[in-house]
Amino acid sequence: MTDITITTEDDGRHGRYVAKVAGIDAEAELTFTHRGPKLISADHTGAPDSLKGTGAAAALVDHLIADARAQGFRIIPLCPYVRARYERHPDWQDVMTVAPGEMPRISARPRS
């Protein structure tokens, strides 16, 4: 099993989850934006070629879902990768703002 470490960076308006895989000098990220109280958008998930196939991107999404449940926030899944994973995990509906397969809309402005 791949040893993946995930950290969170959050400036109160935008943030990202960062995944590092032991023995690989690269990082994957899932960026997000605070859209309102207890509401964020998952904006983009990216991983360099050196991390493809390691499970780092999937681990980032799993970490986002766990944080949403633990901290009580909901997710607008704007990122195509997050939406694709959500379609395979309809049990995540408790933290998502749309049903699996449904296109999200942004109804709240990012806070300043």
Place of tokens 């995930």: 6
The fold adopted by the segment(s) 4-94 is: Aminopeptidase (3.40.630)
φ/ψ (deg, to 5) at 15: -160, 180
- Residue 36: strand pairing partners: 39
Half-sphere exposure of 45 (CA within 13 A, CB side): 24
- The residue extents of the domains of the chain are 4-94
Q: State the angle between helix axes of 56-71 and 80-88 in degrees (0 to 180), rounded to the nearest 10.
A: 80
Q: Give residue-wise pLDDT tens across range 79-111.
A: 999 999 999 999 999 999 999 999 998 765 555
Quote the CA–CA distance of 66 and 58 in Å, as a whole number. 12
Q: Give residue-wise pLDDT tens across range 31-87.
A: 999 999 999 999 999 999 999 999 999 999 999 999 999 999 999 999 999 999 999
In this prediction the pTM is: 0.91
Q: How far apart are the first and last CA of the chain?
A: 41
Q: Are 74 and 65 in contact (CB under 8 A)?
A: no
Q: Which two tokens stand for residue 76?
A: 């607008």
